[in-house]
């Protein structure tokens, strides 16, 4: 009986759905996190009677066939890259990205990673780095005698130097955009890598055409809607229960058959 396999596949699909939803809820306070959604497809169908096939020698055809579905599969886990709300932190090295774009980060492997997390720090050399100590691109170093740092909307970094009237320009943060940001590969630690699915990065400055702007002293929150995620969790749980019910119903039917005398 196909319903045993179909019910099992349905339970596996809803288990994946619960995993994805739970991960969204777990990251509801993760800076720059983008919520995910499980997407499903039906499996191949068995044609017991094909629509459009001849039904007699006089040329009549079968208007509606007999197709039996074989279950469901996980087709993709998409990522919704919409803007999250911004939260004030008053930390001069916290930067929220409003609009399109990603910060570029140098990994120890030599690769370039991309992130929406603008929680930056200074390392022992005064270089602006991520929480894990990875330098942003291009590298920007703050002098030891700097009293404050200012980052404007276009990513230019200025330092107030003790004894100098005019602020010193230290460089400009560069951003990267992708034609399909949902196709990037997540590394964890709020980092992503480009893939063939995401396309190659287009780099530029904040505020230019196609790029967002920066907001100093703020961070971008996750775009997880908790009410929606809880609703999705309940729906996935009920779907899981209904698939398990189809298995128990099939078991009862097979038990009735085996008990025939």
Give the pLDDT of residue 33: 95
Contact 168, 174 (CB under 8 A): no
152, 148, 130: which is closest to 139 by C-alpha? 130
Q: How many residues does the chain have?
A: 261
Number of neighbours of residue 166 by Cβ within 10 angstroms = 8
pTM comes to: 0.87
Q: Which of 251, 233, 203 lies closest to 23 in space, CA to CA?
A: 233
How many helices (H) and strands (E) the chain has is answered by: 2, 19
Q: What is the 3-state secondary structure (H, E, C) of 62-85?
A: CCCCEEEECCEEEEEEEECCCCCC
Separation of alpha carbons 39 and 209, rounded Å: 32
Count CA atoms within 13 Å of residue 131 on its CB side. 12
Break the chain into its structural domains and give their ranges.
2-81+225-258, 86-220
Please give the pLDDT value at position 207: 93
Residue with tokens 């702007």: 213
Nearest alpha carbon to residue 181 among 162, 157, 197: 197
Structure confidence at residue 258 (pLDDT): 87
For the chain, which ranges sit under pLDDT 70? Answer: 261
Q: 22 φ, ψ to 5°?
A: -65, -40
- Coil vs helix vs strand at 13: helix
- The 3-state DSSP class for residue 156 equals strand
Strands 95-98 and 213-216: antiparallel
Contact 192, 184 (CB under 8 A): yes
Q: What is the DSSP letter of 132?
A: T
CA distance 188 to 198: 17
Cβ 39 vs Cβ 79: under 8 Å: no
Instruction: Give kind and range of the element (H or E) at residue 203.
Output: strand 202-205
Pairwise CA distance, residues 261 & 245, whole Å = 27
Q: Supply φ then ψ for residue 204, to 5 degrees.
A: -175, -175
Residue 13's pLDDT is: 95
């Amino acid at each position: 009986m196909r319903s045993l396999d179909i019910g099992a596949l349905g339970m596996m699909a809803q288990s994946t759905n619960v995993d994805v939803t739970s991960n969204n809820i777990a990251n509801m306070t993760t800076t720059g996190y983008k919520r995910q959604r499980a997407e499903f497809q039906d499996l191949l169908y068995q044609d017991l009677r094909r629509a459009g096939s001849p039904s007699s020698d006089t040329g009549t055809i079968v208007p509606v066939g007999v197709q039996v579905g074989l279950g469901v599969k996980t087709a993709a886990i998409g990522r919704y890259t919409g803007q999250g709300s911004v939260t004030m932190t008053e930390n001069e090295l916290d930067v929220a990205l409003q609009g399109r774009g990603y910060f570029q980060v140098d990994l120890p492997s030599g690769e370039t990673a991309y992130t929406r997390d603008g929680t930056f720090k200074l390392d022992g050399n005064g270089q602006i780095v991520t929480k894990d100590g990875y330098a942003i691109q291009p590298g920007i170093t703050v002098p030891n005698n700097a009293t404050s740092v200012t980052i404007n909307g276009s990513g230019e970094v200025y330092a107030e130097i003790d004894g100098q009237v005019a602020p010193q320009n230290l460089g400009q943060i560069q951003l990267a955009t992708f034609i399909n940001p949902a196709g990037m590969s997540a590394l964890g630690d709020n980092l992503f890598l480009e893939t063939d699915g995401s396309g190659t990065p287009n780099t530029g400055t904040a505020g230019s055409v196609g790029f967002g702007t920066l907001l100093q002293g703020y961070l971008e929150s996750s775009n997880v809607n908790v009410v929606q995620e809880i609703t999705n969790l309940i729906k996935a749980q009920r779907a899981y229960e209904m698939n398990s019910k189809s298995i128990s119903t099939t078991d009862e039917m097979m038990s009735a058959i085996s008990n025939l005398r």
